[in-house]
Chains A and B, each alone.
Chain A
Amino acid sequence: RKEVEQDPGPFNVPEGATVAFNCTYSNSASQSFFWYRQDCRKEPKLLMSVYSSGNEDGRFTAQLNRASQYISLLIRDSKLSDSATYLCVVNEVGANDYKLSFGAGTTVTVRA
C-alpha cells in the first residue's frame, strides 16, 4: 500500500469553476501536511501547508481530517494559470525531523 494516495485525474475544468480533490495517507502518526504544485518539467513548489483546523489562502482551501486520514484541496474561481499537477505531501516522522512522502499527483487542466 502506498503511503500517500491521490486521485491522478486529470480534472479538466473551465475557467471560473471550482475543483476539489483528496489525498489519503496511511501513517496515522503523520505530523505535518502540505500541498505542493508542480508545473510540467519543473520542480515542486509549496502551495500551502495544511493545518488541523483547515486553512485558506486566497482561492485555495485545504482541509485535514485526521480521523479519516485524508487531506483535501479546493480551488475556487479557477484560472488558466492553475493548470498544474498538485502533489499531496505528508511528513511521516515527528515535528523535529522529517521524512516526506509524496503522492503521485493530481493533474488539473483549466480550459478557457
Chain B
Amino acid sequence: DAGVTQSPTHLIKTRGQHVTLRCSPISGHKSVSWYQQVLGQGPQFIFQYYEKEERGRGNFPDRFSARQFPNYSSELNVNALLLGDSALYLCASSLGTSGYNEQFFGPGTRLTVL
C-alpha cells in the first residue's frame, strides 16, 4: 500500500513569494496534519484537518493556511515567505481524530527561502 506522499520534495523560493505544498494521505485516512521541522528541532504542529474541516491550529502566523479536499488530500499555503520559513514541512495522516491514533508521516517537502 502507498504511504503518505508529498510534493514537491524540494523547493527553492525567494523572500516574499508564495508556496503551495501538497499531501496525499494513506488510503482510508481522513485526518491530515501539517508540521514544520527546522533543523535541529522537533516537528512543530501547524494544522490538523479532518473531513475537510480545520480541527486544530498551532502557533503560526496567518501567512500559513491550509485546506483539505473531498478526496482527503491537503494543501499547505504559505504567503510572503520569510527566510525563517526555510524548513522541512511534514504531512501526517491518521485514521481519525483520536489522540491515540498513530501518525504516519510523509517524506516531507524541504523548502529553502533565499
Contact = CB atoms under 8 A, between A and B. Distances in A.
Interface of A: 4, 31-32, 42-46, 49, 87, 91, 93-105
- Dominant SS at the A interface? loop
B15 interface: no
Nearest to B101: A98
Interface string B65-108: 00000000000000000000000001000000111111111111
Given A49-B100, A93-B56, A99 B48 contact: yes
Contacts of B107: 42-43
A44 B43 contact: yes
Contacts, number: 64
B90 A43 contact: yes
A105 to B, nearest CB: 6
Contacts of B55: 97
Contact of B106 (A43, A49, A93, A96): A43
Contacts of A4: 42
B41 A104 contact: yes
Contacts of A43: 90, 105-108
Contacts of B102: 46, 49
Given A31-B99, A32-B99, A43-B105, A98 B48 contact: yes
B112 interface: no
